[in-house]
Amino acid sequence: MIINGVTIDATFAEAFPMKATRAIITAQNEKWAMISAQAMTGFATSVIACGCEAGIERVLDPSETPDGRPGVSIMIFAMGGKGLAKQLETRAGQCVLTSPTSALFAGIDGGTRIALGKNLRYFGDGFQVAKLIDGKRYWRIPVMDGEFLTEATTGQVEAIGGGNFLVLAESQPQALAACEAAIEEMRKIPNVIMPFPGGVVRSGSKVGSKYKALGASTNDAFCPTLKGMTQTDLSPEIESVMEIVIDGLTKEDIDKAMRVGIQAVCDLGAANGIKRISAGNYGGKLGPFHFHLQEIMA
Amino acid sequence: MSALTFTLKQRPDQRVDMSPLVCQKLAGLEFADIAAITLQNGKRKIRVDELFNVAGSDTQNIVIKNSFNKLDFIGKELDGGCITVEGDAGAYLGLGMKSGEIEVSGDVGLYAACEMKKGLLKVNGNAGDFLGAALPGNKMGMKGGTILVKGNVGERAGDHMRRGNILIEGNAGDYCGSRMTAGTIAVMGQTGRYLGFAMRRGTLLLWNQPQPSARFNDCGAHTLAFLPILFASFKKLNSKFADSSVAFNRVRRYAGDMSEMGRGEVLVKLG
């Protein structure tokens, strides 16, 4: 398949089941909601070493937030429910509770309930106040700038992590420009996050390493500087490869995000140095979810 | 299916225990069975059809017409369904109510919604003393649900209250929120003496400055983030509380009762 001069490989992205949750952070203005959200989703690019994958889903209008203030919706993904709950709680405690004027609310009503502010209340040292409003429990925790308001729990749901595609370009600036264009479109899709810095990862990995201690190592088949010394997957004109990883609540959400992302890349086309779109997989042996690029773009 | 309607034929001299006539107890009963139910009337028992003209068949939607202030225990432990009272209601209306809805067009007597657990009680007139309180000797009052009173309430509203909302559009009598353990009482009108007497936790939300009390300490003026969420939860009520123009988030906070554990609060609207 070729779109605007860009070859779409007959391959698939392989993804894994994960657990996910969503939280809504509000603040006095969008600037401070975003600061808090960025802190909460920081150092959360990959479960390999961060414990979770997290990202900002979108900015919320005051009319969409529980307390009528500007807000940001964030999502956190982890391999298991226990790990997710721990990450959520520590991040909420260190990044939202501490952030001026912030408040924290559940972003998923159903699902398995996991603690959001339920245990942060103990920071109140006995001065915390519970309020049960419309069946939802809130905690008011006295802090130095006033009160930190947090919902006690949020929902944990089944999700999918590891949807991805690779952008193969003739130069590094062209690969990055294409990925930036893709991310801009993909951020408009609900229920997905792209957890890597700016949504783009330049160090895609393969499973295993020559070093026994490492479970993952550089994806040498897609490293342009190794074209002559490894079993490369790159043609001579490819000078740079970048990857976009997508975590989403459902397969359909990831499908949609991949479609708009790949389309944005293809819109730049061969004229802008974009040669191929590929995807990372492990031969279909590890992850039960397969995102076939040509099916998605059909 | 039309509502099951009990129209009072004439007012008995003695008080009537209406507790058998709740939705969950009448479900599945034939019309004749309902008519044959006996109610305690003073020291004697009286058949339902002797006291009321009975019509309709929907046992989950009960209407009591020509009601007056000697019909006690209406909606006792109501567990789902809807009871509409046209007129006044006696004491213990909605006692221990578990879910469902009760609406009274007139006034209600003592101990309305006492030890209520869930559901909605709406009183279009005034309510007597001990609204949403605990029965004498008991330590737990209302544990959940919402009480809306469009008129005034008597003394000791929310005595020993533990959870839920009491919304009062009019005035509240003395000892409002006394011995409260938690929950919210909102009063749009005036409050009487000894507001929040011995309250441990909970919120008294006031539109007007109460009489000063040495038992409560001024914690200053604040903008509280939970208030917009609380007011938003009142939107579905047919009440002044649903009107966004009455909502506020700027309050003066008084903590007390300091002679008790002092974790309660009186929030008074500012500006």
Q: Would you say how long chain B is, in residues?
A: 271
Q: Which two tokens stand for residue A249?
A: 């609540």
- DSSP string spanning B55-73? E--EEEEEEEEEE-TTEES
Q: What is the pLDDT of residue A207?
A: 85
Which amino acid is it at A101? T
Q: In chain B, which residues have their Cβ closer than 8 Å to the Cβ of A66? A: 229, 232
Q: Quote the Cα angle for B155-B85-B125, to 5°.
A: 40
For B222, nearest residue in chain A (alpha carbons): A146
Q: In chain A, which residues have their Cβ closer than 8 Å to the Cβ of B184? A: 131
Average pLDDT of span A32-53: 95
Number of A to B CB contacts under 8 A, please give it. Answer: 45
Secondary structure (3-state) at A94: helix
Q: Which one, of A250, A290, A41, A232, lies nearest residue A158 by Cα?
A: A250
Q: What is the pLDDT of residue A182?
A: 98
Is there a contact between A133 and B230 if contact means CB atoms under 8 Å apart?
yes
Give me the residues of chain B with pLDDT under 70, please: none
Q: Which two tokens stand for residue A189?
A: 């899709």
For the CA atoms of chain B, what is the radius of gyration?
A: 19
Which amino acid is it at B99? S
Average pLDDT of span A14-42: 97
Q: Would you say how long chain A is, in residues?
A: 298
Instruction: Give the Cα separation of B147 and B164 in Å (integer).
Output: 8
Q: What is the pLDDT of residue A216?
A: 86
Please enumerate residues of A whose Cβ is less than 8 A from a Cβ of B.
66-69, 103, 126-127, 129-134, 138, 140, 146-147, 149
- DSSP string spanning chain B? --EEEEEESS--SS-EE-TT-SHHHHTT--HHHHHH-EEEETTEEEEHHHHEEEE--EEEEEEEEEE-TTEESTTTT-EEEEEEEEE-B-TTTTTT--EEEEEESS-B-TTTTTT--SSEEEESS-B-SSTT-PPTT-S----SSEEEESS-B-TTTTTT--SSEEEESS-B-TTTTTT--S-EEEESS-B-SSTTTT--S-EEEESSPPPP-TTSEEEEEEE-THHHHHHHHTTTSSSGGG-GGG---EEEEEEE-TTTT--EEEEEE--
Please check the confidence at residue A286 and state whether its pLDDT lies above 80: no
Is there a contact between B223 and A146 if contact means CB atoms under 8 Å apart?
yes
Average pLDDT of span A154-174: 96
Secondary structure (3-state) at A31: helix
Average pLDDT of span A13-42: 97
Instruction: Give the Cα separation of A64 and B168 in Å (integer).
Output: 29
Cα A43 off chain centre by: 11
Is there a contact between A134 and B265 if contact means CB atoms under 8 Å apart?
no
Asked if B82 contacts B101 with a C-beta cutoff of 8 angstroms, the reply is yes
Per-residue confidence at A174, pLDDT binned at 50, 70, 90? very high
Pairing of strands B44-47, B38-41: antiparallel
Instruction: Give the Cα separation of A231 and A135 in Å (integer).
Output: 59
Q: In chain B, which residues have their Cβ closer than 8 Å to the Cβ of A134? A: 233
Q: Which two tokens stand for residue A200?
A: 């783009």
Q: What is the pLDDT of residue A287?
A: 85
Average pLDDT of span A25-50: 96
d(CA A132, nearest CA chain B) in Å = 7
Q: What is the pLDDT of residue A142?
A: 97
Domain boundaries of chain B, sorted by first residue: 110-269
> Could you give the domains of chain A?
2-14+159-297 (3.30.70.520), 19-157 (3.30.70.520)
Q: In chain B, which residues have their Cβ closer than 8 Å to the Cβ of A129? A: 201, 203, 263, 265
pLDDT single digits (tens) A58-112? 999 999 999 999 999 999 999 999 999 999 999 999 999 999 999 999 999 989 9
Phi first, then psi, for residue B40 (nearest 5°) are -75, 125
Instruction: Give the Cα separation of B123 and B150 in Å (integer).
Output: 6
Q: What is the pLDDT of residue B131?
A: 98
* Helical (H) or strand (E) element with A244: strand A240-248
